[in-house]
C-alpha cells in the first residue's frame, strides 16, 4: 500500500471516514443508484461528521484539511458509493473559486454555511455548445448600476438546482475570448435564476445534474469574483486543484471493484476449486491491483504538490486524473469479467461501478483535454 504523508490527526480522520463509509454509506449505494434520487441522508451524514468542512479554512468554520486528506476522504467514500463521494468533491469544486479569488467579505458570507453543509455549492462553466472550449460560451453579463445582468445558460451542472451557491462564468467583454470571461457568485434565489432540464444519466444517478438558466438574472456587483476578465484564469486554477479529487473518485471506484473481484474469486467454485486458484484470474487481479496502486501514487503526489504550494501543478493534476479514470474503467471492466454473468447483473455492484467510473473520464476536462494539458506542459519545459 502507498504510504501517505498526512499528519496523525488527519490519518485518524481518514480512518473514521473509512468506517463511516463502510457502515453507513455502503448499505445505501444500490438504492441511491436504483431510485436516482438525491441522497439527502448522505448529505446530512457528511454535514454531521464535518466531512463537508474539510476543504474550508479554520477561520471560516472549516477543518482546513490538506489536499492530500481531502482526496483520501473522497477515495474512501467512492470505494462504496460514487454519488456520495461527489458530494464532497463538488462542495470543494464550487467553492474553490471563492477561496482563490474571493474577498474576505465573500468568504465570511459563504464559507461557514458551506463548511457546515447547510448550503451546497455548484460550478457553472459548461454550456450546451461549450464544454472543453470555454471561450465559446455564450452566457454574458452586463453591468448596470450596482448589478450585473446575466443572460444565458449552463449545462450538465452537478448539484444544479440544489446548490444555494453557484460559481458562474460569463463573458463581460465579448470578442476577447478567454480574457473576456468573468466569474460571479450566483445565489439560488437571485431574480432571473431558474433551473431547466434535469439530466437522466448513465451513472452517478443519485447526483442531480441540471441546466441552469439566467434570464436577466440580477447579480450584485459585490458578487463579482476578483476583477472582470479574470474568470477563465480562476476556472483553470480551480480545475488544476480539483482534478486530483476526480482522480480520487475514480481510484475509490476502482478499489471497490478490486475488493469485490478478489472476494468473489475466493468464494466462487468451478471445477472443484475457487476460481482464484486459476492463473488466468490471478493475473487479472494482479494487473487490476497494480493499476489501482499506480493511480493512488499519482493522485497522492498531485495532492502533495498542491499542498506544497507548487505553482506548476497542471501537468501532475492532469496525469493523475487521466490515469486514474482510465484505470477505473479498466479495473471495473475486469471486475465484471471476473464475476462472469453475475457481474452483468444488478445483484452485484460491479456494473454500477463501471457505469459510475465512465464519467470520471469526461467531467472536469475529458481525458483528451488532459493529454493536451500534459503535452503542452511537457513541450514548454524544454523551451
Query: How would DSSP label each residue in 10-54?
Result: HHHHHHHHHHHIIIIIGGGHHHHHHH----HHHHHHHHHTT-TTT
Q: Which domains does the chain have, with CATH numbers?
A: 8-116 (1.10.540.10), 121-230 (2.40.110.10), 232-380 (1.20.140.10)
Q: How far apart are alpha carbons 276 and 210 in whole angstroms? A: 43
The pLDDT of residue 4: 62
Instruction: Report residue 144 as a C-alpha cell.
Output: 448596470
Band (pLDDT 50/70/90 cuts) for residue 76 is very high
- 179-193 per-position pLDDT tens digit: 999 999 999 999 999
> What one-character DSSP code corresponds to residue 229?
T
Q: How far apart are alpha carbons 213 and 201 in whole angstroms? A: 20
- 136-188 per-position pLDDT tens digit: 999 999 999 999 999 999 999 999 999 999 999 999 998 899 999 999 999 99
For the chain, what percent of residues have pLDDT higher than 90?
Answer: 94
From the candidates 127, 347, 364, 381, give the one annotated as an active-site residue.
364
The pLDDT of residue 156: 97
Q: How far apart are alpha carbons 370 and 33 in whole angstroms? A: 28
- 78-126 per-position pLDDT tens digit: 999 999 999 999 999 999 999 999 999 999 999 999 999 999 999 999 9
Q: How far apart are alpha carbons 356 and 350 in whole angstroms? A: 10
Query: CB burial class (10 A; 0-12, 13-18, 19+) of residue 178?
Result: middle
The pLDDT of residue 61: 97
Which residue, among 331, 317, 340, 300, has the nearest Cα to 79 in the 3D structure?
Answer: 331
The pLDDT of residue 134: 87
Cβ neighbours for 280, distance < 8 A, ≥ 6 positions apart: none
Whether residue 364 lies in the annotated active site: yes
Q: How far apart are alpha carbons 296 and 32 in whole angstroms? A: 26
For the chain, what percent of residues have pLDDT higher than 70?
Answer: 99
Q: What angle do the packed helices 367-380 and 314-339 form, to 10 degrees? A: 140
pTM of the model as a whole: 0.96
The answer to whether residue 2 scores a pLDDT higher than 70 is no
Q: How far apart are alpha carbons 323 and 298 in whole angstroms? A: 8
The pLDDT of residue 7: 83
The answer to whether residue 1 scores a pLDDT higher than 70 is no
Amino acid at each position: 500500500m502507498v504510504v501517505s504523508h498526512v499528519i496523525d490527526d488527519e490519518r485518524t480522520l481518514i480512518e473514521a471516514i473509512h468506517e463511516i463509509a463502510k457502515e453507513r454509506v455502503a448499505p445505501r449505494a444500490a438504492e441511491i443508484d436504483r431510485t436516482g434520487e438525491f441522497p439527502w441522508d448522505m448529505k446530512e451524514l457528511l454535514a454531521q461528521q464535518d466531512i463537508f468542512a474539510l476543504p474550508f479554512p479554520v477561520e471560516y468554520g472549516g477543518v482546513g484539511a490538506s489536499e492530500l486528506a481531502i482526496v483520501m476522504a473522497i477515495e474512501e467514500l467512492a470505494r462504496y458509493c460514487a454519488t456520495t463521494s461527489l458530494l464532497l468533491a463538488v462542495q470543494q469544486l464550487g467553492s474553490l473559486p471563492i477561496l482563490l479569488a474571493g474577498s474576505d467579505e465573500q468568504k465570511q458570507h459563504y464559507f461557514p454555511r458551506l463548511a457546515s453543509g447547510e448550503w451546497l455549492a455548484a460550478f457553472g462553466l459548461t454550456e450546451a455548445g461549450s464544454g472543453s472550449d470555454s471561450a465559446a460560451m455564450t452566457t454574458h453579463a452586463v453591468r448596470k448600476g450596482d448589478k450585473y445582468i446575466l443572460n444565458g445558460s449552463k449545462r450538465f451542472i452537478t448539484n444544479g438546482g440544489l446548490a444555494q451557491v453557484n460559481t458562474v462564468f460569463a463573458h463581460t467583454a465579448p470578442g476577447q475570448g478567454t480574457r473576456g470571461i468573468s466569474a460571479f457568485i450566483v445565489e439560488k434565489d437571485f431574480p432571473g435564476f431558474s433551473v431547466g432540464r434535469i439530466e437522466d444519466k448513465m451513472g452517478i444517478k443519485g447526483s442531480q445534474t441540471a441546466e441552469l438558466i439566467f434570464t436577466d438574472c440580477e447579480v450584485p456587483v459585490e458578487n463579482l469574483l476578483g476583477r472582470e476578465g479574470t474568470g477563465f484564469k480562476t476556472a483553470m486554477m480551480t480545475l488544476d486543484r480539483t482534478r486530483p479529487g476526480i482522480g480520487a473518485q475514480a481510484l475509490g471506484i476502482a478499489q471497490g471493484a478490486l475488493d469485490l473481484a478478489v472476494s468473489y474469486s475466493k468464494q466462487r467454485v468451478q471445477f472443484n476449486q475457487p476460481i482464484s486458484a486459476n492463473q488466468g484470474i490471478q493475473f487479472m487481479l494482479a494487473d487490476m491491483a497494480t493499476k489501482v496502486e499506480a493511480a493512488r501514487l499519482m493522485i497522492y503526489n498531485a495532492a502533495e504538490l498542491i499542498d506544497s504550494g507548487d505553482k506548476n501543478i497542471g501537468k501532475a493534476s492532469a496525469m493523475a486524473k487521466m490515469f486514474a479514470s482510465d484505470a477505473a474503467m479498466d479495473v471495473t471492466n475486469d471486475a465484471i469479467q471476473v464475476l462472469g454473468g453475475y457481474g452483468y447483473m444488478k445483484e452485484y455492484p460491479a456494473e454500477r461501478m463501471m457505469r459510475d467510473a465512465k464519467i470520471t473520464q469526461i467531467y472536469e476536462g475529458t481525458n483528451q483535454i488532459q493529454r493536451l494539458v500534459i503535452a503542452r506542459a511537457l513541450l514548454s519545459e524544454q523551451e
